[in-house]
């Protein structure tokens, strides 16, 4: 068993075999496992059912867990407080506040530069915005960071809102989805969370890969997805990779993501990059000569955000100095992005970022002293990948992790090697991380 969800599935199957279908459907099936830590299980249900489960079914649940995982656990039953009234206007206001945090009036279809690398994704996004819930549902857009996925997602939201100002749009990142769940569990207000997202007309999730490995988040997303799909509401998702390559993402979510239209965005061609540069300069009322445009496009090859940042930096340098844009100024603006001597080398930061994405934790957590199982494994994986890709010694690797002793690094690497031999999923995850980092390096 490689995830808490698998454990919970087997526990429920055990319970189902011991009671009638009616009893199981009424009292046990509605239970949701929201945490499993330090041999303690927390199960969520309604207030009324919580009391019944505590008095009638605790022995069965204890027996089921011991049978499934081989040892006894402590089980706590918690419930959500239901609000007395949660009307449509309240839901709309909650979503509107959420939408404002992500809305950017500059990121529209009109400002999106279309080229061979993104035309299919652009056309699909246009179709979804024109007929939400009908054209492609779900729409899954994937590709490396910084190449326009978020721009397309915000363009869809902008176009739908322009066509119907009353449309309830839920727009958030995978990380924020997780954070809201945690907050609502702490407040015993999961009903408000359900009401907010399962009553939306459009659900747009950016960077969905960050929910991977998070049992409760995936459980909630699964039911939210189903509820919206059943009501023919539009779902749009972005990720840095296709569903099949998101390790620690549950198979039932992978299959649902793959059930609609999946389109990828590749790094833009030089012609598209030049068009993007000119468009960004035009938006700043900045004239860039063709040789400056070509210099930027030839040296920044894969990241649209870097193109935009370079144009803004050139604009600032020219404003401050009073000079017209030249290649010399463009070189100065790109000094921290490109190197004239050799391609950009793989850095520790890139490795940590990729490992964090793959394991569903933050870089700060990897570098912290936290010893949670998933964070410790991510830390060991980062040490292994750094050893594989760089020429750093064990001592130097330890320094990158807050001065850890080289013996700790060796232990961590050995643990990952053992896991790779035992679990094919771990081997696949590590190989995927290394491949993604190498591919990112080659893009430059």
Query: Looking at residue 25, what DSSP letter applies?
Result: I
Residues with pLDDT less than 50, the chain = 1-2, 83-86, 340-345, 442-444
**pTM score > 0.75 for this model?**
no
Query: Looking at residue 43, what DSSP letter applies?
Result: E
Cβ atoms within 10 Å, residue 2: 11
Closest CA to 135 of 206, 236, 207: 236
> Which pLDDT value is given to residue 344?
36
* Backbone region of residue 166 per phi and psi (left: phi > 0; alpha: psi in -120 to 50; beta: other values): alpha
- Structure-block tokens of residue 174: 């995978």
Residues 6+ apart with CB under 8 A from 322: none
CB-side neighbour CA atoms (13 Å) of 157: 32
> Which pLDDT value is given to residue 112?
92
Per-residue pLDDT tens over the stretch 198-250: 888 999 999 999 888 888 889 889 989 988 998 899 999 999 899 988 888 89
> Which pLDDT value is given to residue 179?
87
Dihedral of alpha carbons 196, 200, 206, 207, sign = positive
Number of H helices, E strands in the chain: 21, 8
Do residues 200 and 228 make contact, with C-beta atoms less than 8 angstroms apart?
yes
Closest CA to 286 of 335, 329, 248, 222: 329
Do residues 176 and 299 make contact, with C-beta atoms less than 8 angstroms apart?
no
> Which pLDDT value is given to residue 95?
66
Closest CA to 207 of 169, 249, 237, 242: 237
C-alpha separations of 433 from 68, 272, 384, 417, 444 in Å? 32, 28, 11, 15, 18
- Reported residue count of the chain is 444
> Which pLDDT value is given to residue 431?
83
Structural domains in the chain, sorted by start: 2-78 (3.30.300.180), 109-264 (3.40.50.300), 270-340 (1.10.8.60), 344-441 (1.10.1750.10)
CA distance 437 to 444: 12
Closest CA to 239 of 169, 149, 177: 149
CA distance 363 to 382: 10
DSSP string, 151-171: HHHHHHHHHHHHH-TT--EEE
Burial track 164-198 (b if 16+ CB lie within 10 A, e otherwise): eeebbbbbbbbbbbbebbeebbeeebbebbbbbbb
């Amino acid at each position: 068993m490689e995830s808490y969800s698998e454990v919970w599935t087997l526990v429920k199957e055990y319970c189902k075999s011991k009671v009638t279908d009616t009893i199981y459907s009424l009292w046990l099936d509605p239970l949701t496992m929201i945490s499993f830590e330090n041999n303690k299980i927390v199960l969520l249900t309604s207030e009324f059912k919580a009391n019944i489960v505590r008095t009638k079914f605790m022995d069965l649940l204890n027996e089921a867990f011991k049978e499934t995982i081989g040892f006894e656990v402590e089980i706590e039953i918690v419930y959500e407080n239901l609000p007395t009234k949660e009307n449509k206007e309240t839901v709309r206001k909650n979503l509107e506040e959420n939408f404002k945090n992500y809305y950017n009036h500059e990121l529209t279809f009109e400002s999106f530069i279309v080229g061979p690398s993104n035309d299919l994704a652009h056309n699909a996004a246009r179709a979804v915005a024109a007929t939400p819930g009908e054209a492609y549902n779900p729409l899954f857009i994937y590709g490396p960071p910084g190449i326009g996925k978020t721009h397309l997602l915000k363009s869809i939201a902008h176009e739908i809102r322009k066509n119907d100002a009353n449309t309830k749009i839920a727009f958030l990142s995978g990380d924020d989805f997780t954070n809201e769940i945690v907050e609502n569990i702490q407040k015993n207000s999961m009903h408000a969370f359900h009401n907010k997202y399962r009553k939306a007309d459009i659900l747009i999730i950016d960077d969905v890969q960050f929910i991977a490995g998070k049992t409760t988040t995936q459980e909630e997303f699964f039911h939210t997805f189903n509820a919206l799909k059943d009501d023919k509401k539009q779902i749009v998702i972005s990720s840095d990779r296709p569903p099949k390559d998101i390790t620690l993402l549950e198979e039932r979510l992978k299959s649902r993501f793959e059930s609609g239209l999946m389109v990828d965005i590749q790094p833009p061609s030089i012609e598209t990059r030049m068009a993007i540069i000119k468009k960004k300069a035009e938006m700043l009322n900045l004239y860039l000569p063709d040789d400056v445009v070509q210099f930027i496009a030839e040296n920044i090859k894969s990241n649209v955000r870097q193109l935009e940042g370079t144009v803004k930096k050139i604009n600032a340098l020219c404003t401050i100095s009073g000079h017209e844009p030249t290649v010399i100024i463009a070189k100065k603006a790109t000094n921290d992005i490109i190197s004239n001597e050799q391609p950009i080398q793989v850095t520790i930061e890139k490795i940590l970022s990729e490992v964090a994405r793959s394991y569903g934790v933050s870089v700060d957590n990897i570098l912290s002293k936290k010893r949670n199982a998933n964070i410790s494994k991510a830390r060991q994986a980062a040490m292994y990948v750094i050893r594989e890709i760089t020429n750093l010694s064990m001592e130097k690797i330890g320094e990158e992790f807050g001065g850890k002793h080289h013996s700790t690094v060796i232990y961590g690497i050995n643990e990952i090697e053992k896991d790779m031999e035992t679990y094919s999923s771990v081997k696949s995850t590590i190989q995927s991380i290394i491949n993604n980092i190498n591919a990112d390096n080659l893009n430059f």
